[in-house]
Structure 1
Amino acid sequence: MRAFVTGGTGFLGANLIEQLLADGWQVIAMHRHGSDTKRLQQQGVELVEASLADVDSLRNAMPENLDAVFHLAANTNLWRGGNAQQWRDNVEGSANIARVAREKNAGRLIATSSIAVYGYQSGRIDERSPKLADDPRHGYLYTKKRAEEAVRAEIERGLDAVFLNPCAIVGKYDTTSWAQTFFLMEKDQLPGVPPGKGSFCYAGSVARAHIDAFYKGRCGENYILAGRDASFLEFFGRIAALLGKPAPKRAMPAFVIHTLGWLSDLWSIASGREPLITPEKAAMVTRRVVASSDKAVRELGYQTDTDLDTMLRECYDWLVEQKLLKASA
C-alpha cells in the first residue's frame, strides 16, 4: 500500500507516518522547502519537496495510482496578520491537493479538517450540527470550513474523499501546540488560565482513525474525533502536576482575556508583530467546545479510552526525552 502524506513533518503527521510504517505502508512525505525532515529520513520515508500553492509542483511530486493521500498540512494561525497566507495554505492548498489527487487517480483522499468548522455552539457538537464557521475575522475557523468545501468540489468531479474533524490533540511529537503550555508553565510565565472547556483527543488514536478512515470511511462524510472533556483549569492543573508546579486555583474571567486580546491587537497594528494573545485566541479559549465521537466510534472503530493523564504524560515524556523540558524531581 502506498500513501502520500502532506504535513508529515508536523505533530499529527509524525504520529500518522509512524503508524503507517508499522502497518507496512510505503510512505511518500511531501514537505516544504526548509522543513526539518531529519526524523523522516531516519525512518526511511521517501521525501518530495513541493508547495500546496503550486499545482505543477504537486503534479510532479505525487505519483499516479496511490492508494491514499493523507492531507494533514494546515495553517493554524490565530492572528489576522496571517489571514491572507492562511487562505492560500488552507483553502487554495486543499483545492490544489484534492485536484491533483483526482487527476492522479488516487484511491482515496483523507482530509484532516477540524472541529473548528462547526464554529462556537452552546451544546455538544456532532456531525449533524450546523457548520457555523462563517465569520472571516476568525481566519482559522473560516478557512477550514472553506477547505472542506474546496475538497467537496472535487468529490463532485469524481474524487473519493473522507473528512476527519479532530478536537484538541494531545500526545508525543508536539512542539507547537499544548507543548507551549508546558514551556510557559515550566518557566512560570503562564499569564493565566482561560475559562473555556474542550474535548481532548489522543494523538495516537487520531492517527489510527486516519488509517481506519481509508478502509472504512464513507465518501463525503465527516467524522468528529473527540475524547475526554475537561475545563482548561483542570487541563492546566494536570500539566502543573507533571511539572511539579502548584496547580492554578482559578480561571481568569472571560472579559479580561477578551480585553487583553483587543489591546494586543491594537499593539500589533502598530508593531506589525503577532502578539501573545489575539482576539481569535481569546475567542477560542473562553468558549465551551465539546463534541461527540459516536459516529467515528461506530463506523471507524475510533478509540476514546485514553485518559487525559496518559495523553499528557506521553507529551511530557517525549519533551523530556528531546531535552525540550527538564524532568521534574
Structure 2
Amino acid sequence: MKHAFVTGGTGFLGANLIEQLIECGWQVTALHRPESDTRLAHNFGAELVEGSLADISSLQRAVPENIDAVFHLAANTSMWRGRRAQQWRDNVEGSATLARVARQKNAGRMIVTSSISAYGYQKNPIDEQSPQLADDPRHGYLYTKKRAEIAVRKEIEQGLDAVFLNPCAIVGKYDVTGWAQTFLLMAGNQLPGVPPGSGSFCHVAEVAQAHIDAFARGRCGDNYILAGIDASFLEFFATIARLLNKPEPKRTTPAAAIYGLGWLSDLVSRFTGREPAITPEKAALVNRCLIARCDKARRELGYSGDVPLETMLRESRDWLLTRGLLPSDENETVKETSH
C-alpha cells in the first residue's frame, strides 16, 4: 500500500484528492491546523496530524520516513495587501520548509500544487513554454506562487524529486470559499456586477486525478498546466444563473468601475483592518483574460480537461445544496433543474 502525506487536505482540492487516494487504496496522512474543519478528510479515512508549515519541528514529526509521496496543496490564496506578509510565510517559506523535510525524509516524490498565477498576466494563451512573469510584489498571490516554485527547485538541486502542477480556475464539489461563492452571492441577489475578463475553468476531480498521475508519470522538475474550458465571466455567471433559476446577466460591468471599487475598498480597509470583498488584486484578476493550454498534461499525464462548464458548476451547486448553504427558497426551484 502506497502512503501519501497531504497538506491542504481540509480544503476544496485537498478533499477531492484524499477521496481519490483512499479509493485507489492509498494510506493518507493529512496535515491540518488546530482550527481546520477536518470532517471530510476524517470521513474519507485519512489519518489526521496537527502541525504547521511554519513549524519545521512539527513537520519533521508529521512526515513519515521514506513516504511514497508528499502532495503539497496548502496555500494562502488571499488577494489583499493586508495579508501579504503572512502569505509570504505560508506560500514561500512554508513550501521551502516542507520540501526540505521531504528531501530529508527520503520521500519518493513531492507533487507541488502551484497555480497558473505563477505565470503572471499574459496577453496570449499560456503553456509551459511561456515565461513566468509573476514578478510584481503588489500581486501577492501571483508573486508568492512563482517564488514557492523557486524555493522547491532549490531542494531539487539537492536531490528532491518534485513535479509542479499549475491548475487554472478549479470548479466542483466540496468548494465553499472559491468560485462557489458566486452561487451564494447570486442566490442572495448580492452580485455587484459581472467582470469583463475570462479564464480557463477545470474540473476538480480531473485536477485531483492529475496529482496522482503526476506521481506516477510526471517528470522531475517539470511544470504541468491543468487548464480546461475557456469562458468569459459573463458566460460563467450566466451558467450559474440558469442553475439557480435566476435571470441571466446580459452585459458586463466596465473594468474601470471594478478597479475603482477595488481601490476604494482597499482604502477603507486601511482603517478597518478587514479584508474587503473586492481588492485591487481581485479587480486585476477578473478584468483580464487568463487563458491557458494543457496539451502537455494531456500527452504525459492523461489529463483531459474536457468536462463541460455546466457539468462542473452543477456539481458545485449540488454540493452547496447538500450542505444547506443555499437559501431554502432556492432549494425547491433548483431541484427542478437537476432532473
Partner of 2:263: 262
Partner of 2:336: none
Listed as ranges, the matches of 1:105-124 within 5 Å are: 105-124=106-125
Partners of 1:242 and 1:328 within 8 A in 2: no
- Aligned-partner residue type, residue 13 of structure 2: L
Aligned length: 329
- Aligned-partner residue type, residue 200 of structure 2: S
Counterpart-to-counterpart distance in 2, 1:11 and 1:4: 17
Structure 1 residue 206 displacement after superposition = 0.2
Partner of 1:30: 31
- The farther-off stretch of 262-271 and 69-78 is 262-271
Structure 1 residue 42 displacement after superposition = 2.0
Counterpart-to-counterpart distance in 1, 2:109 and 2:219: 10
For residues 219-277 of structure 1, the C-alpha deviation after alignment (integer angstroms, 9 at most, x for no partner) is 00000000000000000000000011000110011111111111111111122111111
Q: Normalising by the residue count of structure 1, what TM-score does the alignment of the two structures yield?
A: 0.99
Counterpart-to-counterpart distance in 1, 2:266 and 2:332: 36
Listed as ranges, the matches of 1:90-169 within 5 Å are: 90-169=91-170
Counterpart-to-counterpart distance in 2, 1:328 and 1:180: 20
Cα-Cα RMSD? 0.7
Partner of 1:3: 4
Counterpart-to-counterpart distance in 1, 2:262 and 2:320: 29
Counterpart-to-counterpart distance in 1, 2:226 and 2:39: 29
Structure 1 residue 328 displacement after superposition = 4.6
- Aligned-partner residue type, residue 131 of structure 2: P
Partner of 1:200: 201
Partners of 2:18 and 2:44 within 8 A in 1: no
Counterpart-to-counterpart distance in 2, 1:265 and 1:38: 34
- The farther-off stretch of 35-44 and 237-246 is 35-44
Counterpart-to-counterpart distance in 1, 2:74 and 2:50: 13
Counterpart-to-counterpart distance in 2, 1:118 and 1:328: 42
Unaligned segments of structure 1, at least 5 residues: none
Partners of 1:258 and 1:279 within 8 A in 2: yes
Partner of 1:182: 183
Identity %: 71
For residues 149-186 of structure 1, the C-alpha deviation after alignment (integer angstroms, 9 at most, x for no partner) is 00000000000000000000000000000111000000
Partner of 2:238: 237
Q: Secondary structure at the match of 1:214?
A: helix
Partner of 2:276: 275
Counterpart-to-counterpart distance in 1, 2:24 and 2:45: 14
Deviation >6 Å, runs of 4+: none
Counterpart-to-counterpart distance in 1, 2:123 and 2:210: 27
For residues 67-94 of structure 1, the C-alpha deviation after alignment (integer angstroms, 9 at most, x for no partner) is 0000000000000000000000000000
2:63 pairs with 1:62:
yes
Partner of 2:86: 85
- Aligned-partner residue type, residue 288 of structure 1: C
Counterpart-to-counterpart distance in 2, 1:273 and 1:317: 31
Partners of 1:226 and 1:292 within 8 A in 2: yes
2:331 pairs with 1:327:
yes
Counterpart-to-counterpart distance in 2, 1:14 and 1:42: 10
Partners of 2:22 and 2:45 within 8 A in 1: no
- Aligned-partner residue type, residue 281 of structure 2: E
Counterpart-to-counterpart distance in 2, 1:185 and 1:251: 15
Partner of 1:42: 43
Partner of 2:337: none
Q: Normalising by the residue count of structure 2, what TM-score does the alignment of the two structures yield?
A: 0.96
Counterpart-to-counterpart distance in 1, 2:201 and 2:108: 31
Structure 1 residue 43 displacement after superposition = 2.2
For residues 7-51 of structure 1, the C-alpha deviation after alignment (integer angstroms, 9 at most, x for no partner) is 000000010001000100000000011111112222221111110
Counterpart-to-counterpart distance in 2, 1:123 and 1:36: 39
Q: Secondary structure at the match of 2:331?
A: coil
